[in-house]
Amino acid sequence: MDELEWIKQKKLREIMDRMKADDSKDDWPDKPLEVTDASFEEVIQRYPVVVVDCWAAWCGPCHMVAPVVDELARDYRGKIVFAKLDVDSNAATAMRYGISSIPTLLVLKNGQLVGRIIGAMPRPSLESQIVRYL
């Protein structure tokens, strides 16, 4: 195989690999994943950008944020994965990340905490704080 043919084949493989990577985003969730102490690490390592909504059933502001998080999960599918962590049932993860008030949204990139958003807010405010991590 001459050098030109080898370069063509290499470029073709790169293009196909990129297309596969883009196609793999089709299996990203379009709604928040329920995460637990047991599944948290797997989820944050699997996806490049994960926003975790730390909430509790008794928290009124958490219920106000939930539909916004649902919408964002649908609208940012393939770019951001959203997850929900019930802090009452998953105290180890809540303690690990120092969750002292809810709702708190943790923003993780490549498994590392890069941001924290505390409190209920309307979609435009929440969205503007999240998209800067893309």
Catalytic residue among 33, 49, 59, 99: 59
Task: Say how many residues make up the chain.
Answer: 134
62 is catalytic: yes
| d(C-alpha 37, C-alpha 95), whole Å | 11
| d(C-alpha 53, C-alpha 107), whole Å | 9
Strand intervals (E) in 17-64: 33-35, 49-55
The sign of the dihedral angle between the CA atoms of 22, 134, 66, 92 is positive
Catalytic residue among 51, 62, 81, 107: 62
59 is catalytic: yes
Rama region for 45: left / alpha / beta (φ>0; ψ in -120 to 50; rest): alpha
Catalytic positions, please? 59, 62
